[in-house]
Copies of this chain bind each other. A is one copy, B any other.
């Protein structure tokens, strides 16, 4: 069978896509200003000038909309981390890991509500995480794995991946408790220094395990 000719999007398709993007913009602004708790269907519909039911024509549920916002946040975070390494002169792998971690800290600190929403949305390895979301995570982890692979040339890809996840989780824990000013956290003015010490120490070994 010959391929069907490329179909011009119908006016209805175009309207749907406009509404989808408008809802993501509105939800993004609300999460940034007030956090996940500000996401209510009725308010969003009012701001987007549509019926409440119309939201569910373009997203399966509100989690689907939040996931779309998180996708943008995650992409911006990945770009910030990538740019931090690209902007530095070529350096030792340890220094690269520290540069990326401090970029993560800065992004989280400047976009606290959007960043918290990444982790507050219920989403686990047992759920149906969209392929594009896993691809974004893969890109971020590849940035961390690259200097680790130079540091630990004899270790397997699996070991490098486990260390990538371990260091990501560790830095995440320090940033999370620190930014929230938890009584158990590292004080704000010490976070950068302690992340640097942690990463330098962990990686000054010739093998991972």
* A interface list, Cβ under 8 A from B: 119, 123-126, 129, 133-134, 137, 141, 162-163, 165-166, 168-174, 176-178, 180-187, 190, 193-195, 197-198, 201-205, 208-209
Contact = CB atoms under 8 A, between A and B. Distances in A.
Contact of A197 (B182, B187, B190, B208): B208
Given A123-B182, A125-B187, A165-B194, 17 more contacts: A124-B180, A124-B181, A126-B181, A162-B186, A162-B194, A163-B194, A163-B197, A165-B177, A165-B187, A166-B194, A169-B177, A169-B178, A170-B170, A172-B173, A173-B174, A197-B208, A201-B204
Given A173-B169, A186-B165, A209 B197 contact: yes
Nearest 9 pairs between A and B by C-beta?
A: A173-B173, A170-B170, A124-B181, A166-B194, A169-B174, A169-B173, A201-B202, A165-B186, A172-B173
Contacts of A126: 181
Contacts of A209: 193, 197
A209 B198 CA distance: 9
B193 A202 contact: no
Contact of A170 (B165, B180, B183, B198): B198
A186 B198 contact: no
Contacts of A165: 177, 184-187, 194
B183 A129 contact: yes
Contacts of A178: 169
A154 B182 CA distance: 28
A178 B162 CA distance: 12
B198 A184 contact: no
Given A124-B182, A182-B124, A170 B174 contact: yes
Contact of A169 (B133, B185, B193): B185
A156 to B, nearest CB: 13
A183 B123 CA distance: 8
